[in-house]
């Protein structure tokens, strides 16, 4: 009776030599060597690993298992930065760079996290650098949205907080806000063409909904020149949103409104003002795009870990697990992305059901009618990791 590793592009002998370098846990090394399938894992953050800035019970220990450390080790610490099982952190959150988020996660969860392992809601905005690199774009949301966009390569980014000061009267409620400053009423400034906003990027959850919806309606329907219009109905300025989730789990017991709720409010008001419905592109889960970014990151991790004989070979995963807490984003997104993705729900966030299996209606590939997809439900991320390792383990032959 024996075991073998069926991992495309990765030979057991080669892997074992590298794995022993990265881990002091022989018990876990034995488990990894018995994996039947080439697997990867994507973890949602809010509601799965963290609630606010507080780690959810068992989250750190679950992640340490993927680095080959755990209760069986002498010090319980990971001795190297590379994981034994490829995994990434896939979240609709943002407002910081991937590098900053990696540093925060490493500190809170006590595990090594690299910038390449972090896929934020706005990570796909990298795709638009070539188009808007030298044009003026408006960034919206909490955090340092300008720093985020400049890190991607955008050269002319103006955040909403700065932009509103170019139009002293654009927000009539500004004098009543906490950071009010007195300005004399005047007409919109005569701005040169280079001040035109070419595109709007909602990078993270907006803080001041009233102001931001008002200003965005002005920008989007004026051709990028609020208060001016060369034609009665100029084309709408392109709008990109980092996520479209209606709600998410934060520190408060009840889920909070997400960027999708903001988009609904903006859309409702914009459609009353403009001659055409709001046009927008939304990323984040359940859009397939962040899953493509995640899969590419997992492939790179696998290649670094196993060094296939052919460096140009493409890793083909048997399964990539999406561990999340929100059926409408995490589960639906994994199903939208298709093979090799498989969703798993936890009960520590948005989803609170008591069922062991979550059934989500949908249309199967090539099918015309509604179908039911069954997603395993686990109490915690720790239980989810245990389920993944057990399911992927090879049976004796």
Q: Is the dihedral of CA 32, 35, 38, 40 positive or negative?
A: negative
Residue 38, pLDDT above cutoff 50 = yes
Phi, psi of 138 (to 5 degrees): -100, 125
* H or E stretch at 359: strand 357-363
Place of tokens 């010090």: 75
What digits encode the pLDDT tens for the residues 249-274?
888 989 899 999 999 999 999 999 99
Cα separation, 392 vs 397, in Å, equals: 15
139 is a domain residue:
yes
Averaged confidence pLDDT in the chain: 82
Which residue among 258, 282, 306 closes a domain?
282
d(C-alpha 140, C-alpha 201), whole Å:
6
Has residue 235 got a pLDDT over 80?
A: yes
Q: What are the tokens at 27?
A: 């018990």
Q: In this structure, what CATH number is given to the domain that contains residue 157?
A: 3.40.50.1000
50 and 63 housed in the same domain: yes
Same domain, 86 and 115: yes
Report if residue 339 sits inside a domain.
Answer: yes
> Is position 196 within any domain?
yes
Residue 168 pLDDT exceeds 70: yes
Looking at the fold, whether 320 and 229 belong to one and the same domain comes out as no
Whether residue 10 lies inside any domain: the answer is no
For the cut 90, the answer to whether the pLDDT of residue 86 exceeds it is yes
For the segment 224-248, the average pLDDT, to the nearest whole number, is: 86
Q: Which residue has the tokens 């720093």?
A: 147
Beta strand pairing call for 50-51 and 319-324? unpaired
Please report which confidence band the pLDDT of residue 307 belongs to, taking 50, 70 and 90 as the band edges. Answer: low
* Among candidate residues 236, 253, 282, the one where a domain is terminated: 282
Structural domain harbouring 330: 36-71+79-121+286-361+369-393
Name the pLDDT band for 190 (thresholds 50, 70, 90).
low
Q: Is the pLDDT of residue 11 over 70?
A: no
Same domain, 226 and 154: yes
Helix (H, G, I), strand (E, B), or coil: what is residue 374? strand
Residue 12, in any domain of the structure: no
| 18 found inside a domain | no
Residues 297 and 233 in one domain: no
Residue 115 banded pLDDT, cuts 50, 70, 90: very high
Residue 312 token pair: 């140009």
In terms of domains, do 355 and 252 share one? no
Arithmetic mean of pLDDT, 238-247:
95
The phi and psi torsions of 379 (rounded to 5 degrees) equal -70, -40
Q: Name the residue with higher pLDDT: 127 or 29.
A: 127
C-alpha 308/C-alpha 287 separation (Å) is 31
pLDDT in tens, 332-380: 999 999 999 999 999 999 998 888 999 876 544 433 334 468 899 999 9
201 forms bridges with which residues in the sheet? 139, 240
Q: How confident is the model at residue 161 (pLDDT cuts 50, 70, 90)?
A: very high
Q: Do 273 and 130 fall within a single domain?
A: yes
Q: CA 41 → CA 227, 299, 334, distances in Å?
A: 49, 11, 12
Asked whether residue 379 is assigned to any structural domain, the reply reads: yes
Long-range contacts of 350-355, Cβ-Cβ distance < 8 Å, separation of 24 or more: 350/47, 350/247, 350/248, 350/249, 350/255, 350/325, 350/326, 351/325, 351/326, 351/327, 351/377, 353/377
Q: What pLDDT score does 75 carry? A: 47
Is residue 308 domain-shared with residue 387, that is, in the same domain? yes
- Tell me: do 84 and 140 sit in the same domain: no
Last residue of a domain, one of 264, 282, 300: 282
Average pLDDT (105-118) is 96
Check whether residue 257 and residue 310 sit in a common domain.
Answer: no
- 30 in a structural domain: no
Give me the helices (H) in the chain, please.
12-22, 26-33, 59-65, 98-109, 129-132, 145-152, 160-163, 209-221, 259-273, 288-306, 332-337, 381-392
Same domain assignment for residues 146 and 201: yes
d(CA 175, CA 191): 24
Beta strands 256-257; 247-248: pairing state: antiparallel
Residue 388 has pLDDT above 90, yes or no: yes
Per-residue pLDDT at 158: 97
Of the listed ranges 4-13, 59-68, 358-367, the least confidently predicted one is: 4-13
C-alpha to C-alpha distance for 272 and 383, rounded to whole angstroms: 48
To 5 degrees, how large is the angle CA 369–CA 375–CA 380? 155
Q: Contact, 164 vs 188, CB < 8 A?
A: no
The answer on 129 and 117 residing in a single domain is no
Predicted structure pTM score: 0.82
The number of distinct structural domains making up the chain is: 2
Average pLDDT over residues 126-144: 97
- Structure confidence at residue 195 as a pLDDT band (50, 70, 90): confident
């Amino acid at each position: 009776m024996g075991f073998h590793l069926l991992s495309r592009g990765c030979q057991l002998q080669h892997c074992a030599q590298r794995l022993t370098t990265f881990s002091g846990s022989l018990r876990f090394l034995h488990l990894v060597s018995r994996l039947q399938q080439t697997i990867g894992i994507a973890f949602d953050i809010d509601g799965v690993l963290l609630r606010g800035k507080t780690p959810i019970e068992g989250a750190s220990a679950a992640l340490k298992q993927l680095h080959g450390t755990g209760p069986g080790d002498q010090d319980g610490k990971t001795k190297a930065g590379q994981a034994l099982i490829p995994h990434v952190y896939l979240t609709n959150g943002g407002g910081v760079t991937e590098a900053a988020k990696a540093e925060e996660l490493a500190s809170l969860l006590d595990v090594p996290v690299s910038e390449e392992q972090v896929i934020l809601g706005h990570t796909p905005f990298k795709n638009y650098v070539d188009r808007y690199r030298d044009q003026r774009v408006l960034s919206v949301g909490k955090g340092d949205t300008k720093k985020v966009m400049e890190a991607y390569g955008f050269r002319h980014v103006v955040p909403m907080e700065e932009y509103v000061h170019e139009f002293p009267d654009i927000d009539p409620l500004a004098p009543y806000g906490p950071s009010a400053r007195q300005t004399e009423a005047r007409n919109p400034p005569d701005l040169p063409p280079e001040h035109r906003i070419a595109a709007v990027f909602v990078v993270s959850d907006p803080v001041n909904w009233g102001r931001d919806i008002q200003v965005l309606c002005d920008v989007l329907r004026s051709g990028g020149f609020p208060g001016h219009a060369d034609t009665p109905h100029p084309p709408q300025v392109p709008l990109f949103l980092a996520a479209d989730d209606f709600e998410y789990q934060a520190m408060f017991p009840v889920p909070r409104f997400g960027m999708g709720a903001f988009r609904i409010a903006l859309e409702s008001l914009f459609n009353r003002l403009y001659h055409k419905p709001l046009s927008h592109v939304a990323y984040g889960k359940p859009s397939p795009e962040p899953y493509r970014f995640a899969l590419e990151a997992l492939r790179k991790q696998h290649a670094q870990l196993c060094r296939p004989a052919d460096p140009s070979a493409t890793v083909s995963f048997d399964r990539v697990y999406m561990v999340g807490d929100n059926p409408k984003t995490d589960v639906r997104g994994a199903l939208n992305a298709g093979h090799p993705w498989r969703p798993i729900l936890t009960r520590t966030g948005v989803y609170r059901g008591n069922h062991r299996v979550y059934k989500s209606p949908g249309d199967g590939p090539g099918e015309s009618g509604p179908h039911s997809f069954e997603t395993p439900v686990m109490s915690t991320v720790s239980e989810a990791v245990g389920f993944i390792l057990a399911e992927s383990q090879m049976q004796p032959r």
